[in-house]
Amino acid sequence: MLSRSSSRGHAGWTLVITGLAVFMAALDNLVVITALPAIQSSLDTSLQDLEWTVNAYTLVFAVFLLAGAAAGDRFGRRRMFVVGLVLFTAASAACALSDTSQQLVVARAVQGFGAALVMPLTLTLLTVAVPPRRRGLALGIWGALSGLAVALGPLIGGAVVEKISWQWIFWVNVPIGVVVLVLSLWKLAESNRPESALDPVGTLLVCLGMFGVVLALVRTTDDGWTDGTVLGSLLGGLVLLGVFVGWELRTRHPMLPMRLFRNRSFSAINTAGLMMFAAMFGLVFLLTQFMQNIQGFSPLETGVRMLPWTAMPVVIAPLSGLLTSRVGNRLVVAAGLLFQTAGLGWLAAVVSVDTQYADMVPGLVLGGIGLGLFFAPAAEMAMGVVAPSDQGIASGANNTFRQLGGVLGVAVLTSVFTARGGYGSPQQFVDGLEPAVWLGTAISAFGCLAILAAPRRSRQSPTTEAAPASATKQAARGGDPLETSHH
């Protein structure tokens, strides 16, 4: 039987370590997006290469998240967390040393693989280490740190690019990674589920399927939607994703158990996460370029002007905890998506060549309130609607859908941007940006409808395995009978 001290002994340190790790990984995405114009100029890249600077990271990150969660369950969560930290930190240094866009894309892919091991395990390690009565508070802090990274990403990226160079947006990860690595080896307790197994076939199918879909979307930038290569890649990717679903239904050890999606709350929160991140990342990618290329702001000035959107979660995230205790996670997440939809709709209505920054502020503030209401309640809901034995895979699935949303958002909205406009002139840029923002608004609205389709009272799926009565009593005392843990 699991001892309480071995699984819960480092709750405070686990929160610190996982919080720093999620801050570092979340910060990396938005720091890079702010620096894209400088990278494009320095390495003389095309728009397609620029997209892959973002997508190489987020695509590899997304498709290996579930495998990362499964590897942690099988081989030890602390062990795989440490492996991921080493890869992420080393790849960050390789990004900084890149001389060509091809080298940068490869290093970003390795960085994404490291993050795929780290991110899902932050949530699982935290859930295992913190007693149930304090778990809501811990997840709220975890979500607030994600929001803080979103807030500081554009600002740090702009400041580093303007005052030093774009390479230093990657160098900054190295000391943080080393500190988190040392703390992990020192303070984290190990935990695993030795009966779990990996799913290499499922991992290969979903990787190839998503790569085909994203490659098709990115290639529309140069080749258009009617190109044979684009259509072939898109169709092949969709077929492989269909085969992946069929395989997951048949295999004994699926990387993404399809039974979880019989739970309407689980399906709804993952759909909402995908839509939220698709709208957010797709538009941050374009709006930071709009502020720099059309409005003439420097990278640092752009980061400061994005704060009404990106910094708002720092203010709102703590309030979301108070709201969830009154009305529940479902309505708070829906409110977050509604605020983001309103904010993006405002931006779509005011954007033009002559738009003043002051005209954009209300939309940025509304979008920021939406992010602040979304992060922590969404994470808590995703973990709370499944049985404890499924929390590792639920964490991986939730992060996967969010990151896939980011990949697809950048690809789809950029495709719309290039189909209707381009970089030839300020008016061309706005001609592409306006329909892209309206599409982002619609995507966010769909996410709001998706979460409202969840049951009013979220509960564990009846298809998840129930713990025996003795184990339930142990969990009530603060232990987790479904985990095997040791120092």
CA–CA gap between residue 476 and residue 368 (Å, rounded): 37
| pLDDT score recorded for residue 114 | 92
Q: Are 446 and 344 in contact (CB under 8 A)?
A: no
Torsion of CA 11, 13, 17, 23, to 10 degrees: 80
| pLDDT score recorded for residue 195 | 61
Q: Are 260 and 462 in contact (CB under 8 A)?
A: no
Q: Are 436 and 351 in contact (CB under 8 A)?
A: no
Lowest mean pLDDT: which of 131-135, 342-346, 413-417? 131-135
Q: Is the pLDDT of residue 472 over 50?
A: no
| pLDDT score recorded for residue 381 | 83
Q: Are 312 and 368 in contact (CB under 8 A)?
A: yes
CA–CA gap between residue 179 and residue 17 (Å, rounded): 9
- Host H or E run for residue 117: helix 101-129
Residues 213-260 pLDDT 10s: 877 877 776 777 788 888 999 999 999 999 999 999 999 878 788 888
- What proportions of the chain, in percent to the nearest 5, are helix, strand and coil? 80, 0, 20
Concatenate the DSSP letters of all residues of 139-156 into one string.
HHHHHHHHHHHHHHHHHH
CA–CA gap between residue 17 and residue 286 (Å, rounded): 33
Lowest mean pLDDT: which of 119-123, 205-209, 234-238? 119-123
| pLDDT score recorded for residue 337 | 94
The gap between the terminal CA atoms of the chain, to the nearest Å, is 15
- pLDDT classification of 480: cutoffs 50, 70, 90: very low
Q: Which position has the higher pLDDT, 395 or 122? A: 122
Q: Is the pLDDT of residue 465 over 60?
A: no
Residues 302-334 pLDDT 10s: 878 888 887 777 778 777 767 877 787 889 999
| pLDDT score recorded for residue 214 | 76
Highest mean pLDDT pick, 34-38, 144-148, 272-276: 272-276
| pLDDT score recorded for residue 359 | 93
- Host H or E run for residue 190: strand 190-192
Q: Is 463 in a helix, a strand, or coil?
A: coil
0.85 exceeded by pTM: no
CA–CA gap between residue 357 and residue 35 (Å, rounded): 20
Q: Are 175 and 101 in contact (CB under 8 A)?
A: no
Q: Are 139 and 376 in contact (CB under 8 A)?
A: yes
| pLDDT score recorded for residue 399 | 73
Q: Is the pLDDT of residue 90 over 80?
A: yes
| pLDDT score recorded for residue 383 | 74
CA–CA gap between residue 156 and residue 150 (Å, rounded): 10
Q: Are 217 and 285 in contact (CB under 8 A)?
A: no
